[in-house]
Chain A
Amino acid sequence: MRVRMNGEWADLEDRTIGDVLRRYGLEEKRVVVEANGEIIERALWDSTPLKDGMVLEIVHFVGGG
């Protein structure tokens, strides 16, 4: 299925948001996930299914003032 991740379309076979984060080695990192504008709490990553056309934002903290 096609999802839009951080502004780029990607074809993924993953079933859940948890799968996507594991694919990128982010499951242990301090990241926050938003799916279609809603924040998905960490505890719900594995039970939230990926859907065709879903818009995902995966963000983290960077240096800033």
Chain B
Amino acid sequence: MTPYTIGGKTLTSRLFLGTGRFPNPLVLKKAIAESGAEVLTFAIRRVQLDTVDEDAVLQHVDSGRMTFLPNTSGARTAEEAVRIARLVRAAGIGNWIKVEISVADETLLPDPLETLRATEQLAKEGFAVFPYTSDDPVLCKRLEEAGAAAVMPGGSPIGTGLGILNPYNIERIVERVNIPVIIDAGIGTASDAALAMELGATAVLVNTAIAKAKDPVTMARAFRLAVEAGREARVAGRIPKKKYASASSGYETLISRPTKTTGAVT
């Protein structure tokens, strides 16, 4: 696959992998390997001081090869997201931050105004900001203007596996913004990721669809292949959709074509 640049880094894989909800660290490790992902996402939480043998996820991944994209999940306001981003920076794992701000209701949809405010502030502070946003082309443009390194519109709400509910909007976002578009959230299976790439996404972020699959390691491989296939199809250029059939072979030389009257053979 052809390398591309995003947030100041040159990458080859277009599949970003979320590290939440895997059955255990071993499966996570194998899934990372099979996915071919070069970008991993994380969350920041309090250390549980009563269980010293904590499950800090970073200890299970090979940090040399990977770019980390920690998120601000749990933040309800721009200020809370900025606070988390600064904690991330102090951990010394780079300057990428996925802004994720939502009120904790049943949809976990991102708060557009707080997301825009946080993006603006964090871009000023020198972060490469990756806002998780609703699939609104106008908002995505505003996030670009606020200094986002990429936009991450959701296909559907986090963890639902409903796929891409509004392909039209995703296409408009791809047309409208001049920064990478990463489809984040709601991806249910490999074909959803292929569709995202065919619509023109730069990359896809997948977590639950892999982590909660019956066989996460095989699903990770399926997603790698789907993202590659979708990207190739996008580059190759799909045919336009048409209303009526057009035969693959034409009829000019059909064997049962009526014989032309050219006179008797002598």
Contact = CB atoms under 8 A, between A and B. Distances in A.
Contacts of B208: 65
A62 to B, nearest CB: 5
Interface in B31-88: 41-49, 52, 54-59, 70-71, 73, 86-88
Given A39-B86, A65-B71, A32 B91 contact: yes
B210 to A, nearest CB: 10
Interface residues of B, number: 38
A7 B87 CA distance: 17
B21 A7 contact: no
A59 interface: yes
A32 to B, nearest CB: 5
B21 A26 contact: no
Interface in A20-64: 24-26, 29-32, 34, 39, 41, 57-64
Interface residues of A, number: 23
A30 B47 CA distance: 11
B158 interface: yes
Interface of A: 5-8, 24-26, 29-32, 34, 39, 41, 57-65
Given A29-B47, A65-B208, 6 more contacts: A32-B90, A60-B47, A62-B45, A63-B21, A64-B43, A64-B71
